[in-house]
Structure 1
Amino acid sequence: MRSQEPPVDSGRWRLDALDGERRARSEFQERTAGRRQHWVDANPYYYGKVARLLRHIIEPGCSVLHLRCETGYFLDAVAPGRGIGVEISPAMVAVAAKAYPHLEFVCSEPQDYAGQGPFDYVLCSNISDTPDVLALLENAARQCGPRSRLILYSYNYLWQPLLEWASRRGRRAPVMEPNWLSIEDLQCFLNLAGFELIRTFRVVLLPKKIPLLSEFANRVLAWIPGLSSLCMTSVLVARPVPRPRPVGDISVSVIVPCKNEEGNIAAAVARIPEMGRGTEIIFCDDKSTDETLRAVEQAIRDNPRRNIRLVHGPGVCKAHNVWCGFRAATGEALMILDADLAVMPEELPYFLNALAAGSGDLINGSRMVYPIANNAMKFLNFMGNKGFSFLFSLLFGHYIKDTLCGTKVLWREDFKRIESLIGAWGVEDLWGDYDLLFGATKRSLVIHDLPVHYQERISGVTKMRRVFWNGLRMLRMLLAAWRKLRLEYY
């Protein structure tokens, strides 16, 4: 005789079970909402550290959607121009709205919220208290635009035993935590939801303030590889996976900074290819003392079918000259091509293709992959480039093989975001390479190397002299930027 199978409880074994989980969490939060701010106030050191990191990542004045915002503390901390917080219980929404009346709060399950996006930043907290992480992230993706950034704030699963003990002993807010996720788990969810992980921050090795010891642990030990994986809090920054754009739809501006380069102007015009929907060539003459200015004017007359423009630089340094060209440009994609033509102009389409494909937000030329032509780069310059690239990669967590290649390409809209950071690193960048790299890092842009062939200049002489003095200045820039970009949030 066949044994009778037990009836299937659809409410327990199907998706209805997740609705039951959500209701349980909403009811739990409804009962505990009045005490939540107490726990924030009782741990100002920890919450202050996390808020400091979020302010480092999120540009003030931007639009921010915070899914699972709790009391609104972090949403207010990042000073949004437009801030909307979403929570799962009316009581918590009421607490947040009373504390921060200048912000907007909505009661909704995070996976169901239908916002008025896109938002510049979408911040997701309480991932460990979310029954369906993938559904939450898929909805977050719907609130993002092409340049939006998603930020995940989560606890390190290695802290699970200690945090659960603290909750049981009344030393931490009571919570319902079904998910303890590793960085790899979160990255898997991000990929499935259509995001690309850009960067991972690990902070707070010691969450309680103990004079001297806490700052030493959190500002020194927490930065050491290996020990950083023990930090209590992980913050992941991701972007929506870019949709490739047709190259033919993109307008291009090629900025050619020049000072005493009369012999290279005509060759530059002849060798710079027409790209995208149209290419404008902007020669930025930095108060040359030779015939560069006349050479540019002659090139304009000789090439009436090409869009060639002349911009007068301030005569201060290459960086200021390039910024003048960027501000005058009308193209969607901005390219820098040094007037020495040591980087082949014929390779510029590779940069546009990489930018259009979404390979990176800043495409950085790298001269350190292919063999370098004889006399194209002096030995001390070569070793300096190697050293500074190594330091940049070590200090900022981005692998860059050549920080000082003059050929860089980015979207004009992204330069506008970087522009406010120019000169903010404590030591002025005379060349502009580090201002772009540091700014892109601060704005969570993706930097991608593109190997180029580097040749000896045909005409003129190099402007990179005083190698020791320049190297010392670059080292000071790296250390100054490191203090701002790394120590700023530890």
Structure 2
Amino acid sequence: MEEYFISKATLNSSNIDLAIQSALSKSSGANGVFTFQITGNIWEPLCRWLRMDSRALSTTTISNRLSTWDIESLAEIHSLVPVKWVASKLTPFHTSWVPQKIKNALRRIPGIRDFAYSIEYTFRQTGQPNIDPVASIADTYSIVLPARNESGNEQLIRDALDHIICHLPNSEVIFVEGNSSDNTWIMLNSVVSDYQEKLRILLIKQEGRGKKNAVISGFSKATGSTLAIIDTDFTVDILDSIRAIEYSSRLNGCFINCTRTVYPMEEGAMRWANYIGNRVFATLVSCLLCQNVSDSLCGTKIFTKHLYASMLADGSWLSKTDPFGDFTVLFGASKYKYKIINYPVKYKSRFSGSPNISRWTDGLKLIRVCWHYFLSA
């Protein structure tokens, strides 16, 4: 049996996914055991607050923000199954005056160990992982990009299409233009004309209003077995989004929800009130779903066409209470017993334009969505 230890320093790298892949590449077979050293969920935010390394206290952060469920999601992506977790240290304080036998006993007591400062979480390989995942030939991908007032992001859009062509050859791209007040429609027509020989690319005009309606319009033209939503401002790194789509081909029965709260954000990427609201909604949605969601409002989500068809059939996609569709699809994934995988992505400040949301008005609408789900069967 091969055993490997992945330290906190490794998990604080600029690309956790690649750091884990590097550790997996050292395993010669399919029986490797990997132990992750992480800070407990209770102490993790407290320690960041004490270091003034919290997004709630400053405009940006230095270190990654990782919870146990983020580790569990990354482990699942890499074909690792949980074995056990142990409390390696109960507090960050100096406790040499406490007899070692007492500390050993306390670390095993339920309730006390749940408040541990340092945790060692052990996983075992279930098969040979794909060290360099690529899109499956058997899977086809439909990527819907709602676009409203994004004329200043033309170069970002072209760069993203180049990456999609390179990494996701079995994909189609569907732009849904949302009746912009700028030249987005003209710009997208030019882009589609330049790329129509390189991949299947469509441009449609949204008939209704709101991001959710735009997504529905795009999915109505989708032919792929896997559906993806990506915001056209590309504040989420396109390479991270593509990697999440690539992983979807090997995660049957899973819903990939990208999370922006693991890596440090670029300064100005998310306003303070938005960040606090995001954290509150993530906690609330996690409680309602009985599944852990690190970021409920990230625009990048990947799921099967079968899930979308099921939600269309039960009418949940036709509800007008959710302005963006983020909660609708998360609640739908939970209803149809899909496991939600949190995949960390880097979040950047907008290159051009401004957010197409109203933080207070739309926030109240999202509270209504949660209340409706809370009262539902």
- Name the aligned partner's letter for residue 145 of structure 2: V
SS of 2:360's equivalent in the other structure is helix
How far is 1:420 from its partner?
Answer: 2.9
How far is 1:308 from its partner?
Answer: 1.7
1:172-251 matched pairs, under 5 angstroms: 247-251=136-140
SS of 2:142's equivalent in the other structure is strand
Instruction: Answer yes or no: is the 8 Å Cα contact 2:145–2:173 preserved in 1.
Output: yes
1:264 is aligned, of 153, 162, 167, to 153
Please name the residue that 1:285 is paired with.
177
How far is 1:476 from its partner?
Answer: 1.5
* Aligned mates of 2:319, 2:185 — CA distance in 1: 34
1:340 is aligned, of 233, 236, 240, to 233
Any gaps of 5 or more consecutive residues in structure 1?
1-195, 197-225, 227-240
Please name the residue that 1:412 is paired with.
305
SS of 2:174's equivalent in the other structure is strand
Instruction: Answer yes or no: is the 8 Å Cα contact 1:282–1:308 preserved in 2.
Output: yes
SS of 1:247's equivalent in the other structure is coil
SS of 1:257's equivalent in the other structure is strand
Please name the residue that 1:317 is paired with.
210
SS of 2:303's equivalent in the other structure is strand
How far is 1:393 from its partner?
Answer: 1.1
1:252 is aligned, of 141, 149, 164, to 141
Q: Kindly provide the CA deviation profile for residues 243-292 of structure 1, in whole angstroms up to 9, marking residues without a partner as x.
A: 99962322111111011111224421322422445221111001112111
Aligned residues between the structures = 247
* Aligned mates of 1:355, 1:286 — CA distance in 2: 28
Whose Rg is larger?
A: 1
Any gaps of 5 or more consecutive residues in structure 2?
1-80, 82-110, 112-125
1:87-236 matched pairs, under 5 angstroms: none
Identity %: 28
Q: Kindly provide the CA deviation profile for residues 315-338 of structure 1, in whole angstroms up to 9, marking residues without a partner as x.
A: 411100111101111112111110
1:376 is aligned, of 258, 263, 269, to 269
* Aligned mates of 2:241, 2:320 — CA distance in 1: 30
Question: Structure 1 448/426 Cα, relative in aligned 2: closer, same or farther at 3 Å?
Answer: same
* Aligned mates of 1:421, 1:447 — CA distance in 2: 20
- Name the aligned partner's letter for residue 278 of structure 2: N
Q: Kindly provide the CA deviation profile for residues 32-84 of structure 1, in whole angstroms up to 9, marking residues without a partner as x.
A: xxxxxxxxxxxxxxxxxxxxxxxxxxxxxxxxxxxxxxxxxxxxxxxxxxxxx
User: TM-score with structure 2 length normalisation?
Assistant: 0.61
User: TM-score with structure 1 length normalisation?
Assistant: 0.47
SS of 1:249's equivalent in the other structure is coil
Matched, 1:469 2:358: no
Q: Kindly provide the CA deviation profile for residues 154-178 of structure 1, in whole angstroms up to 9, marking residues without a partner as x.
A: xxxxxxxxxxxxxxxxxxxxxxxxx
Q: Kindly provide the CA deviation profile for residues 398-435 of structure 1, in whole angstroms up to 9, marking residues without a partner as x.
A: 10010000000111122111223454797611101011
Instruction: Answer yes or no: is the 8 Å Cα contact 2:142–2:226 preserved in 1.
Output: yes
How far is 1:436 from its partner?
Answer: 0.3
SS of 2:249's equivalent in the other structure is helix
* Aligned mates of 1:306, 1:426 — CA distance in 2: 33
| Higher RCO by CA contacts (8 Å cutoff, separation 6 or greater) | 2
1:299-448 matched pairs, under 5 angstroms: 299-303=191-195, 304-358=197-251, 361-423=254-316, 428-448=321-341
How far is 1:358 from its partner?
Answer: 1.2
Please name the residue that 1:72 is paired with.
none
Task: Indicate the RMSD between aligned Cα atoms, in angstroms.
Answer: 2.7
* Aligned mates of 1:277, 1:414 — CA distance in 2: 23
